[in-house]
Structure formats: structure tokens, C-alpha cells
Structure 1
Amino acid sequence: MAGSDEADALLSAASELPRCNLWAFDRRRATPTAEALELCAQAYANLSKAVEVVRSVDRWMEGLDAPPEKLLFLAAEAQSSLWAALGVAGVESDPDQLDLFIWVREIGAAHRIFVARHMRMEDPADPTKWAELAEKLDAFGERITSEEKQRKDHDKLLGKLEYELGRLERAHDDPSKVVAWDGVVRALTDWVSGGRPANSREICDLLREHVEAMPEGVELTPEAKQVLEAVEGLAGAEG
């Protein structure tokens, strides 16, 4: 394949792209075995999985927040597996592998997370265990996706409640206050029905100064009642 017209076309196209090295088609290299190429393909796939998980939460990629230790451990294993697989194929380096290595090292140092394995040449990950690593990356990625969705939903509902309470503060008569309270009730209903605690301190603290001034005519859902009862209980406990 290395001498085919198709390979020549790929090499020509790759030369126009930044950081694109089609080493498998390089005529100056000995042709890697099929087994070595398969290891590299699977290692590249796992590196991609690791980067997707990292990039799914921008604040990690930008170093603004500390990622879970396990993510750094998995990313370290993914880049090391690729480095080891490339070695089997006779390739010394890869920019994508190096980028992830540097990210793990810098983020770990910034947040004082010690990554004990797979960050040194004498401690390579085993590229033949790519299937196990893929399973771990998939499972962790699903967990992070779920947690990130919950975080965004949390922030969205909190913002919605703050908006409705702002409307309530601007209301000058009971009819307009009832309309604003209807929005507050919807926000509280969504909060509790989504599995969040009715006695959440951040929610209760926002409501405390408004509950006693609730006008008549506000229809409360069971979920909203739970929150308002929690607010009253908190106020009573604090005297």
C-alpha cells in the first residue's frame, strides 16, 4: 500500500495539514506488522476517548478546575499505551500523545494530584490491554456526562429560581406577586421532581425572606410545599 497511488495522495494531503504525520505510509520505515498496526489503531482510539472526556468539561481543559484523579490516571494510561504501541511499530513520537502527556503533567502539578503510573518511559502501560482501557474510559465518560448534565441542570434551575424571585421583588401588587410566585412554584417543582433535596440550603436561603409575604391565591404543588416546609423548619431551628 505504501507505494500505491492512494498512499501517495494521502501523503500529499497530509503534508498540507499541521501536525499530520502518516507514518504508516512512510517508505523510509520498515512496514509494521498487522499486529503492531492494530495495537496503534486501538491505542489511538483510546487516546481519542480520553480527550473527549477531558474536553466534555471545558473548565478541566483550561485548568480552571481540578478534574477527578481517576480521569488523570486514565488519561496517563491512554497516552502511555499509545507511546508503547508506537514503539512496537517503530515510531518514536506522536504529537497527540505528547499533548495529552503534557496536559496530565501540568494539570496534576497545578492541582497537586500525583499521577504515580505511566508518566515515565520505564513505566509504560500495556498496549495489549486496550480493550480493558476502552471499557474503563467508556464507563468513566458516561459517569462524567451524567454528572455534567446534572450540574448544568442544577445551575439552570437555580438561575430560573433567582430570575423568578427577582420578578417577585419587582412586583408592586398582589396579582403581579401571584404571577411571580407561580414561576417560583414551577422552579421548585422542577427542582424536587428532578431528584434534588427539598431542604437544599442554597434554595432555602433564597426563599426565606419571601415566604412570609406570600399572597393568597398561590397554588402550591406537593414539591413546592416540601421546599417551603423545609424553609420554615430551617427558620424555626435557627430561632
Structure 2
Amino acid sequence: MPGWEMKIIEAEAERLLSLAAGDADLRAELRALAQVILAATEEPPPSVVPAEGSHPDPAPALPDADEAQAVPSGGPRGPEPLHELTLGRSRPVSVERHPPSEENGGSAFDATLDFDEIEARCRLKAEAARHAAARLRRLRGGGDPGGGVAPVNPEVASWADRFTDAFSWRDDDDGTQPPDISLLDDLGGCFEALAGASALAAGDGERRGALGRSLHLLAEAQSAVRSATQHLQAPDDPDQLAAYEWARDAATRHRVFIKRYLRADDLADPARWPDLLARIEAQAGGDPRARRHRPRVKRLRRHLEAIRRGDDADRDWQEVVEAVDEMVAEGLPPSSKDLRDLLLPAIDDLPDRDDPPEGFRLVLREIDRYLASRADPTEAPVTPEPTPEVQEARRLLGGRSIVLLGGMCRPEARAALREALGLADLVWVETKEHQAVSTFEPVIARPEVALVLLAIRWSSHAFGEVRRYCDLHGTPLVRLPGGYNPNQVAAQIIDQCGERLRGG
């Protein structure tokens, strides 16, 4: 068996054993599987020696009669070949190994890999790496390592534990300095890049020219993951190995020369994952999955143009929300670049909505993630003309601090709100799905905090639970169902707690 296949089996076995610790059904299945493996790999019992006087059936004639040995026909057979075990494994690469024929010119997408599964797992691993990094930073800062948010997904929790263990046990040449936690940040970024490159390869499989470019990006992304895991001294990742095998075989089949990143001595720099991710997103423009939704894309564009003209915005936004939700329900990834580029110019003007549908909420989350991770723009954003509500909120809150709960911190939005409201500070507390509300209490209880904003469109937290802690510490709470546009935020502040801030 090739070494890379055994590495995949070993990595998946470790993952399954970790998951089985909290899953009785999985433990039972693994025990049954182990018994099948043991039975199939046992040595065959010795041949039965016929009793004296018995007459076994004669052995069939062999070409060399002098050297042939008779074998009783009724003797035990050897074990049947063990079928390939796939429990817990990624779907194997299915490659038809033949040179490109003149009929197809090597253009058909004749090697399949479940890229959707690889993309999903890599995004979960990216989340796990970020969770592990946050946990270690809390520990180094003197906080409780378990005081953060435990991942809801058991696979994320398992991977986070494995990444933390690998980081904690790695051998450093120089033991005078603690290991750099940014190794985990890089690992998470590399998994994000591999997820994006996998989605790109799946979409470009039928496009002759695009496939070549996608293969180069996939090769670099899997190499970056391999390098990041080696820096962490963690086991090889099965999804990285599967992507490597597929990229190598697809390049051979389609006669694409990939100069770099397919050799063990030529690994990509994991610290450069932001640049790699940007190139993947640039290549992803014109996602084939988005092209299947062209009628709805036209509908979206029409309503967004009407919103910019200042027509009946509420009705147009309702159409936008419904169209986006339908597209996601039919398979368009919430992270689609085409969808994001359409919504970005207007997203902060989204009217207040307490209950966005699930598909639209996922798109908002991905846009929030993108805006939080991108580099600072070279041009300063255009500041909207301050409304009377902005001027009044600035008078009431100027020089004070507020807390914003929700989503991922967006530096541009944070700076715009601080400037518009004249704040001493805006403490942005990033939230995760189903995070315990009690984790917010320490920041709510700070004496310098004059107000708490709850960005509910990215939050799964019950309004009443957050309200309870705000009431306990005498801090006004403002529900923020729209975007971060300073005019919108100020309007909500004045409407919901203006009188209280004025002392009325």
C-alpha cells in the first residue's frame, strides 16, 4: 500500500477515536469494524489431515506432477480479500488512469473528488484552529482557558483539541521563548484557502482554461496546509493529502505543468495565506454555481439599483432577502463572491429586520467575515452626512465608551462609529453561534461603558438574556437589527434609549 494511503488511514483513525470518546454508537460501530478486520486478517487454520482409511478426492492435475502436492478439495479456503474500509474516511479519489484521448483532448472532468465535503471540512478545521488560538491567548493572558465559547460542532471541538495538543507539545529549537500562537492563525487561514481552492476546482472542472489556473491554486493551498501542519508538528491532514493526489493526477491527465508546490521540498509559506486567499477569490469571479442562478441575479441587481435610487426600499429589500435565501437553499454557497459583490455596496443600509431567513443570515455572516478579514482599504470610506440623530447621539455619548455585541469586528465600521459619535472607545465583542450570554457579563459590567449595542442580525442570542445582564449593571441596551451605518445606529440609539441617556 502506498505510504500516503496509510497516512490517510492513520489520520482518519485518530479522528474517529477522538470522536468516539463522546459517542457510544460510534464506539459500537468501531468495535464491530475491528472484529471484522481481525477476522479477515487471521492466519488460515492448518489443512485437515485425512483420517487413515479415508479417501479424499484427488487433487487436480498440475503442469509439474513431480512437484505438485495434493490438496483435499474439501479443505478450508483462505480468507476472502478484505473490501476497502471507508468508515470515517473522505471519499477516495476516483481517477481513471489513461492518457487523454484525441476524442476529448483531456478536457473532460474525468477525475472526481467530493470537493463539497472537503470544502466543508476545511472550513470547520479553520474554525477549530481559530478557536484553539483564542483559547491559548486567554491562557497566556491569565484568563480561564475554558472561559470562552465551546464549539457547538463536535468535530470542531475535536480538531481544536488536537491542534491545541500539537501546539503545546511541539519541540522548539529555542526553548527560551514560548511558541508563537500565530502558527494556529496561519493554519486556520491555510484551511480557509484550501476550502476556497477546492470550491474553485469543483466549479472549474468543465472549463479547459480555468482548470489549469485552479490546479495551480489548489496545489499551492494544499502545500500551505502541509507546511502549516509541519510547523505545528501535527499529523498529516487527510483532506490535504487527498487534494494533493487529485491535483497531481489531474495535472498529468490534462497535461498541465505545475511548476511548484507538489514536492515535499517545495512547500508554500503558510504565513502568506491572505495573499493566496485573495488570488483564489479573484479567480472565483464568475462562479459557475452563481451562473445557474442568473435569473435571480438579474432580479437582485434590479432591486438593488432601485434601492440606490431611493425608491420603495422596504419592498425592494424584501425581494432581495427572498431571492438570496432561495439561491442559498438551492445550493449557492453563502460565501459566493458573485453574491457578495452584489450586496456589499448596499448591505449597511439594510433596513431593520428581527428575523432574517436562515439563508440570508448565512450570507450576512460570510460578508461580515470577509469585511473583518480584508486589508484596510487604500481610500477612506465616504462618511455619510450626519443626521440630527447622529448629532444628538454624539452630544449624549461623546467622550464615553460603548460595547457592540455581534458578528466579527470590522475595523472600518468601528472607526466610522467612533468618529461619528465622538466616542472614547468602541469595544467590539465578536460572537459565535449559540455562545453563552454569561460570557458577555464582564464587559457589560465595566463602569466606563455607557451603552451596549446588540447586533441581532448576526446573533443567535435571546434579547431577554442580554437585557438581564444590562439591567443588573444599569447599562442601557439597544437592539441593532440593521447594519453599522452611523445614521442607522444613531437613530436606533435615540429611539430606544434617548430619554434614558438624557436623564429623563
Q: Could you state the TM-score of these two structures normalised by the residue count of structure 2?
A: 0.25
- In our comparison, the structure showing a higher alpha carbon Rg is 2
Q: Relative contact order (C-alpha < 8 Å, sep 6+): which is higher?
A: 1
Quick check: which one's helix share is greater?
A: 1
